[in-house]
Amino acid sequence: MEYTGRMWTITLPDGTPLLSMNDRRHHMAQAAATRQLMETFRWLVRQQHIPHLERVHVVFYLLQPDHRRRDPANWMATAKVGVDAIVREGVLKDDDHRHVTGPDPRLIPGMPSPALRFVLRIRELE
Which CATH number characterizes residue 35's domain?
A: 3.30.1330.70
Q: Work out the angle between the directed axes of helices 27-48 and 76-88 (0-180°, nearest 10).
A: 50
Kindly state the average pLDDT of the residues 28-43.
95
Q: What is the pLDDT of residues 67-118, one digit of tens each?
A: 878 888 999 999 999 999 999 999 999 999 999 999 999 988 777 677 888 9
Q: Given this model, what pLDDT does residue 23 score?
A: 84
When divided into structural domains, the chain yields a total of 1
Closest CA to 23 of 75, 83, 79, 82: 75
What pTM, to 2 d.p., does this model score?
Answer: 0.91
Query: Rounded CA gap, 86 and 66, in Å?
Result: 30
Domain containing residue 53: 3-125
What pLDDT shows up at residue 10? 97
Proportion of the chain above pLDDT 90, given as a percent = 70
Radius of gyration of the chain (CA): 14
